Structure 1
Amino acid sequence: MGLSQRLKLRMRRFLQRPGTTVDLAPLEKHLPRIDALEEELEALTDEELTERAGEAEGYVEICAVGREAARRALDQRPYDVQLVGAMAMLDGRVAEMATGEGKTLAATIAAYGHVRAGHGPVHVITVNDYLARRDAQWMEPVYTLLGLTVGWVNESSSHDERTEAYGCDVTYVSVSEGGFDFLRDQLVTDIDERVQRPLATAIVDEADSILIDEARVPMVLAGGVAQARNTKHAAAAKLVQMLRPGRDYEIADDNRSVALTDTGLARIEKKLGGVDLYDGANAEQLSLINVSLHANVLLKRDVDYIVRGDKVELVDEMRGRVAQRRRWPDGLQAAVEAKEGITATAEGEILNTITVQGYIALYSTVCGMTATAVIVGDQLREFFKLEVAMIPPNTPCIRDDEADRIFAAQAERDEALVAEIKACHEAGRPVLVGTLDVKQSEELAELLRAEGITANVLNAKNDDEEAAIIAEAGALRAVTVSTQMAGRGVDIRLGGSKQVDYDAVAELGGLYVLGAGRHDSRRVDNQLRGRSGRQGDPGGSVFFVSLEDDLIVRHAPEAIPSMPRMSMDGLVEDEQVDFAVEHAQRVAEGVAHEIHRNTWRYSVVIEQQRQQIAELRERLLTTEDAADLLMDQCVKADDIERDVLVQAGRAIALYHLDRAWTDHLAELADVREGVHLRALGRLDPLDEFHRAAVPLFNELIPAVEQKTIETFEEAEIDDDGWHPEEGEIVRPSATWTYLVHENPFGSELDRLIAAVGRRLSSSR
């Protein structure tokens, strides 16, 4: 039984209860006192306000001064609910604030408060570079009036620009760039080369996306020589592409695993010259065939990835946009590149790595904001010890959220969806359609063109244009088709960005949000709905669902009656089906939660070891520990000037420590792959991983000390210092960073085990 099938069985009884929220009454009691300070602060000059900002203490003064600074700098007076959201973040909570309720400004006041409380520097962690730059520049006048400095970092920032940005009181940075900078700082040989200061406070934007959806994603710093693997994968791709479904391979019911049939295996083995792929000597070849089969059969272009130029770019399933600098592990990336006829991208050896969850956990204080936190409240508490504060909207939401319209077949669903869009377009009402992937967005746009409707399409292929497209999605007669709206970061205003037709659009019912199928996560659907009904605007939403949708086929096929009740117009009207759709989403969320929990259990021991290495490295970099070791162990050290000894010992010890950690990570990767085989012997893979990982680490530091001594004994050191000979100390000439996309089909050995299991089952 495959991993996803086991999880599915475990999660059939899963009922995810909403996370509880903290009581807001203790925070709301401060509002009258904040209001009372307003008249006093209004009488101050800008210079006096800045001086007052530098002396403010406590929630009342922080919020009152922050409100006045925002009013003057942006001509925006924060609502009471924004101040409550800021106070919740100052309390170390995740504030759930609906779309359009002003989270960015609330976070600015919270950042100011954390700095005043001595919790700085503050990093505002965003989902992408665009939002980091936009929000920093947008809020800069407020920070300036508050007497604070603000900076931002993106992928193109130079070393000096990063150092300057991180030197500010508040720094806006995407989670990946912040993580990569942390990893690079862990490899410096001179403390002045660092760009970051100690990690103090993180305010996490789109907190559920970063802390839950991306939490288990490893960020990688790589170096060395790129591995040229494309030739082998290209040959495997050619073999796999000649196979036929049903005859040569079978796809599992959940569409998440595929395996060769006996016929397909025989064809491959014949093409390879009659080899036995299940002979241990041919394990590498079998792995190549297996991973190539998955890449060619299960990974879909314009769904899981796009091809742009000469690159395969992965698509973030939660946001429907390109996942920047992300790649699949276990040879799957190279297999997809071979499938598309693209030269393999560099991978190199891993110098250091940390998961998003591990990186965020390094901050002394963590808080955040998002429009959809309550659903994952239990997970935020489990993984980060964070509580959710549910902030009420400033103006009650009057959006009309209709019940799902469910159809038996996708073709019927799409026909009804196009008809609904056409009717709205003819009336002038703006429509925003959320699709599940790039392919679906383009197919829907083509159907609309056939009806004479030109839609603005926003997907992973044109994400650079997203701000302009989203800003006009509320204009009269606008039709916008977008892959998911999570993290898009731009408000949709009725009547367009300048709201010239606000009254006309409002009269028509406001922005109409249509979902072309349910996502695996209710949060993503809720984020799509939340684009309508902003700040009390009229609006509406409805999801068009098909019983052929992947979500239902994978997670609730047994819950669908064989003959559901249907109306004359093709709509399914059956309470059992309504339950099945909701059940499928909850099971999908439960499976994701279980995968997160299991993945993190493996990561915990690696993160603990990384922290121990980091502490040792910090001592080597900032103290004379290495020189003291050499003085104790090497007679030669007595004849060397102390300054020279410190310099030589530090350089040699840092090199061997970094080299040992790189080798250790490679060993752990091999161990983690291998322990899955032990599951066949009914051993717990996690226990086996720990049983192997701990002794390996215990040997690491003594080995580093011994190699440091040996290198020092052999090194030529004179009064001018130590200058290693060529090849004596080799550090990567170049490094690069990437994120490892969660492998949707398990590791190579997971796939191998599944293939072996199927073969054994079929032979019985």
Structure 2
Amino acid sequence: MVGILQKIFGTKNERELKRLFEFVDEINNLEPSTASLSNEQLQAKTDEFRKRIESGETLDNLLREAFAVVREASRRLLNMRHFDVQLIGGIVLHEGKIAEMKTGEGKTLVATLPVYLNALDGRGVHVVTVNDYLAKRDAQWMGVIYNFLGLSVGVIQHDNSFLFDPTYTSQDKRFNHLRPCTRREAYLADITYGTNNEFGFDYLRDNMKYDPSDFAQRELNYAIVDEVDSILIDEARTPLIISGPSEESTDKYYKVNKIIPNLKTEVDFKIDEKLKNVVLTESGSSKVERLLGVGNLYDPSNIELVHHVLQALRAHHLFKKDVDYVVKDGEVIIVDEFTGRLMPGRRWSDGLHQAIEAKEGVKIESENQTLATITFQNLFRMYNKLAGMTGTADTEAEEFAKIYNLDVVVIPTNRPMIRKDYPDVIYKSEKAKFNAVINDIEECNRRGQPVLVGTTSIEKSEVLSHLLKKRGIRHSVLNAKYHEKEAEIVAQAGRFGAVTIATNMAGRGTDIILGGNPDGLARELLKDKKDYTEEDFKMAFERAKEICEKEKDQVIEAGGLHIIGTERHEARRIDNQLRGRSGRQGDPGSSRFYLSLEDDLMRIFGSDRINGLMNLLKMDENIPIENKMVTKAIENAQKRVEAHNFDIRKHLLEYDDVMNKQRKEIYSFRREVLESDSLKEKIFEMIENEVDELLAMYCPDAGEWDLKGLKDAVYGLFSVDLQIEESSLEDIGNLIISKAKEIYEKKEHEAGYEFMRYIEKMILLQVIDAQWKDHLLAIDHIKEGIGLRGYAQRDPLVEYKKEAFELFADMSRRINTEVLMRLFKVQIRHEDESEIKIKSQQRLVYNRGDGGASQQPVHRDRKVGRNEPCPCGSGKKYKKCCGAS
């Protein structure tokens, strides 16, 4: 029935495209008049648009004219005229949706249309890329258009930031036209390019600052996320974390690691590869108790020990070297499972990273305590408007709609797709599969057809590389170990006779041009020249262009780029990304996936029937099964895994939404404190609230009053010695409040109005930060055991929400009490030496990034003992905190 209706009315996507093509016709009608404008008249359009916005005109009204202006500027400056389908992509992005465009359809150029339009209102546009290289490259490339039209462009990098300036030349040619600037200046630009990690960490860092003028970011207005599936789906499960070192010993990891070789699979523990989980058996628990010399392993006092044993087992049996991580310079570095890139600075949480360090015999870094954290899901949902582009989003359309409220529109290709996709072939063993892959590569190589081989791990790519060397086939290897060169290697993968092995889809964002990229080839021709002039490069470029044009014809004759997949990924998107590297812009090409029954997907998700069939027919392991039904069965397995992973991400988001509300609340309060000129009224309000709490505690409506306890509590908090007599609660409350305010006014008189406002602000910020840090730790502890509530027929999510709310309420009360205690105890002394010391030595760790520590003033009214709590509020002893220097 659905099929019949679609034939009559068209699919939802077809109806959407029909609507969008009407816009395209209107933009095309403006092309002759826009092309007749002089450069000066074209540039003046930006000011005209801005004035019209100030007069109340909407961005939607300006869309057709703005797009026509950008298209004309691009044609003049870059000799690149937007195709009609690129205009459609631009409209989709402006409307806050996801544009699915095949590889090579020019997504980078598409983004210029909505970026320019949305930057006109001066509220800022963020263009989010998957790595620093692409952020820099795209800003340099497209910055020419924006600069010509009078818009400023900033670039955020991991360790520096720039403004696009065509007059600026750098000694390092890679940074030409990028003038160094502060992070704040880069964010104040009309358009800012950067990675998802940097935008996220800057948001967290801003919410740890002690002065509003130090904020880097402004409003999160409009973001276009490039490779949106990679950032909002693949990386959604791992939060960004800024953490500081805890004081726990690392000895426990070595101790637990030593016993792991004594535990046997299936006897002492069981592995669930689907869920990447490990469970101890009864005999395993007894063996662990004996080996570690502890009594009952499941005694509450040993719960942490059980956790470390399970993490150590996961480290040894589920996390593989050169697949999930590499060891480089004595450090365990995570390999991104989707891109194959190294992720230095990022660490697995919950002691898993330490367990792997113990397994590999490298130095174990201390566990870190979370100071600030956010998931990409909640970061990007904070933008006023969000859009995305990728070659592969339609398979995850349901998740984009439910979690981000983003619709996916599939944009047609500019030229028909003529790539030939062959059915999968399945071998009995991995050895037979690899032999078939090498034979296919050798055959392609003999006729000069370029081949791109996709692998799922560094380990597999190196196995293939070894086999190719044995056959004498020249090739390039692109994986996490060589990710610095990924763009230039991928750019040349379409040359005549090229063989390139890529781990997953490292190098996304770089087009593979048949015959090769003249720019990259020119640099290769000049590699033996240490210092070459611009004239040298021009000559080399012309020579490279000739070579590439000649090779393009040869490659087309040989069949275009051939894609070989050596395994199916759990997500169909990743396979589609690999396949999509061939057949760009109507180019010829082909693709085939080679599988074996020993592959993870086949092994975990039901290869028994195929294996039984092969055994029954007594098939040679070198003879494959090639059948469309088998390919369909594999796709169904992938769909099941995708649905399972979606459920996990949705489940995690439900938990994180609780935390997100609390984060917004605390960051909003913190910002209110930072931006306030005077917090005196707030302090007086806190006094009244605290007195209400004390009265409820010591003088309940029903029950005996403890006036002595009340008196002691009032003295402890406000340093007020009152003679409290039994009377009405209102009288007692008013007496305490008036006396406390009187003392506070006196303290303000001694300190001076301005200095007292400064002290209020600093103490409030210190207490908020310290209590929030402790709250995050408490929340982590709740999460660890909340799943067990299900065994008691209670919904873990409901229980989590309830307990998290109670913890937040407790934290709010502690903030109130702690702030008042510090303010009423602080002694004002007028001496020459400074009473404020900046706490700068605290080391912060960024999971997925790095950065500097925030500065926190510490107030002292006396000499602090080495073993006393540090007055900065960190919760550590003075000798291990501010006294360490």
TM superposition score normalised by structure 1: 0.89
Alignment correspondent of 2:859 = none
Alignment correspondent of 1:151 = 154
Q: Find the partner of 1:31 among 11, 24, 29.
A: 24
Matches of 1:625 and 1:696, distance apart in 2: 29
Alignment correspondent of 2:510 = 490
Matches of 1:551 and 1:119, distance apart in 2: 49
Alignment correspondent of 1:607 = 660
Alignment correspondent of 1:199 = 220
Matches of 2:398 and 2:269, distance apart in 1: 41
Alignment correspondent of 2:572 = 522
CA contact (8 A) 1:471 1:491 kept: yes
Correspondence list, 1:53-64, <5 A: 53-56=46-49, 58-64=62-68
Matches of 2:367 and 2:596, distance apart in 1: 40
Matches of 2:45 and 2:235, distance apart in 1: 40
CA contact (8 A) 2:221 2:383 kept: yes
Correspondence list, 1:349-748, <5 A: 349-485=369-505, 488-498=508-518, 499-500=548-549, 501-557=551-607, 560=610, 562-564=612-614, 570-573=623-626, 577-624=630-677, 626-631=679-684, 633=687, 634-639=741-746, 640=748, 641-717=752-828, 733-739=842-848
Equivalent position amino acid for 1:24 in 2? L
CA contact (8 A) 1:474 1:493 kept: yes
Q: Does the residue aligned with 2:242 lie in a helix, a strand or coil?
A: strand
CA-CA distance at 1:255 after TM superposition: 7.8
Q: Find the partner of 1:287 among 298, 304, 307.
A: 307
In structure 1, stretches of 5+ residues that fail to align are 1-17, 741-764
Q: Does the residue aligned with 2:48 lie in a helix, a strand or coil?
A: coil
Deviations 1:275-295 (A, max 9, x none): 443344333333222211111
CA contact (8 A) 2:250 2:366 kept: no
CA-CA distance at 1:247 after TM superposition: 5.1
Q: Find the partner of 2:93 among 89, 95, 107.
A: 89
Q: Does the residue aligned with 1:432 lie in a helix, a strand or coil?
A: strand
Equivalent position amino acid for 2:379 in 1? Y
CA-CA distance at 1:532 after TM superposition: 0.4
Deviations 1:642-680 (A, max 9, x none): 322321111111111111111111110011112123233
CA-CA distance at 1:730 after TM superposition: 6.1
Equivalent position amino acid for 1:155 in 2? H
Alignment correspondent of 2:134 = 131
Deviations 1:308-364 (A, max 9, x none): 112111111111111343211111010001111111235432111111111111111
Distance 1:250 1:513, change over 3 A: same
Equivalent position amino acid for 1:31 in 2? V
Matches of 2:670 and 2:413, distance apart in 1: 48
Deviations 1:204-241 (A, max 9, x none): 11111111111232111122x35554322122112213
Distance 1:298 1:73, change over 3 A: same
Distance 1:203 1:571, change over 3 A: same
Q: Does the residue aligned with 2:496 lie in a helix, a strand or coil?
A: coil
Equivalent position amino acid for 1:623 in 2? S
Distance 1:274 1:345, change over 3 A: closer
Matches of 1:694 and 1:194, distance apart in 2: 29
CA contact (8 A) 1:410 1:548 kept: yes
Distance 1:268 1:638, change over 3 A: closer
Q: Does the residue aligned with 2:314 lie in a helix, a strand or coil?
A: helix
Matches of 1:723 and 1:380, distance apart in 2: 54
Equivalent position amino acid for 2:148 in 1? L
Q: Find the partner of 2:232 among 206, 211, 214.
A: 211
Q: Find the partner of 1:316 among 324, 336, 341.
A: 336
Distance 1:192 1:254, change over 3 A: closer
Matches of 2:126 and 2:417, distance apart in 1: 32
Q: Does the residue aligned with 1:513 lie in a helix, a strand or coil?
A: strand
Matches of 1:22 and 1:359, distance apart in 2: 32
CA-CA distance at 1:271 after TM superposition: 3.1
Matches of 2:635 and 2:832, distance apart in 1: 70
CA-CA distance at 1:21 after TM superposition: 7.6
Matches of 1:593 and 1:486, distance apart in 2: 23
Give yes or no for the alignment of 1:222 onto 2:243.
yes
CA contact (8 A) 1:716 1:723 kept: no
Q: Find the partner of 2:74 among 35, 59, 70.
A: 70
CA contact (8 A) 2:99 2:410 kept: yes
Distance 1:560 1:732, change over 3 A: farther
Matches of 1:35 and 1:579, distance apart in 2: 42
Deviations 1:434-490 (A, max 9, x none): 011111111111111111113211111110010111011011111100111266211
More displaced 10-residue stretch of structure 1: 608-617 or 699-708: 699-708
CA contact (8 A) 2:423 2:627 kept: no
Matches of 1:540 and 1:608, distance apart in 2: 49
More displaced 10-residue stretch of structure 1: 93-102 or 692-701: 692-701
Matches of 1:405 and 1:722, distance apart in 2: 78
Matches of 1:243 and 1:562, distance apart in 2: 32
Equivalent position amino acid for 2:743 in 1? K
Alignment correspondent of 1:172 = 193
Matches of 1:483 and 1:128, distance apart in 2: 16
More displaced 10-residue stretch of structure 1: 438-447 or 19-28: 19-28
CA-CA distance at 1:26 after TM superposition: 2.6
Equivalent position amino acid for 1:296 in 2? H
Alignment correspondent of 2:41 = 48
Q: Find the partner of 1:105 among 82, 104, 109.
A: 109
CA-CA distance at 1:582 after TM superposition: 1.5
TM superposition score normalised by structure 2: 0.77
Equivalent position amino acid for 1:164 in 2? E
Equivalent position amino acid for 2:427 in 1? F
Matches of 2:146 and 2:574, distance apart in 1: 32
CA-CA distance at 1:48 after TM superposition: 2.2
CA-CA distance at 1:695 after TM superposition: 1.2
Distance 1:591 1:486, change over 3 A: farther
Matches of 2:14 and 2:645, distance apart in 1: 22
Distance 1:615 1:539, change over 3 A: same
Equivalent position amino acid for 2:589 in 1? G
Q: Does the residue aligned with 2:453 lie in a helix, a strand or coil?
A: strand
CA contact (8 A) 2:424 2:628 kept: no
Matches of 2:399 and 2:102, distance apart in 1: 20
The higher radius of gyration belongs to: 2
Equivalent position amino acid for 2:650 in 1? R
Equivalent position amino acid for 2:153 in 1? V
CA-CA distance at 1:254 after TM superposition: 4.3
Matches of 2:592 and 2:761, distance apart in 1: 63
Count of aligned positions: 719
Provide the alpha-carbon RMSD of the alignment: 2.5
Distance 1:21 1:552, change over 3 A: farther
CA contact (8 A) 1:53 1:65 kept: no
Matches of 1:631 and 1:64, distance apart in 2: 59
Matches of 1:109 and 1:604, distance apart in 2: 33
Alignment correspondent of 2:523 = none
Matches of 1:21 and 1:91, distance apart in 2: 17
CA contact (8 A) 2:248 2:367 kept: no
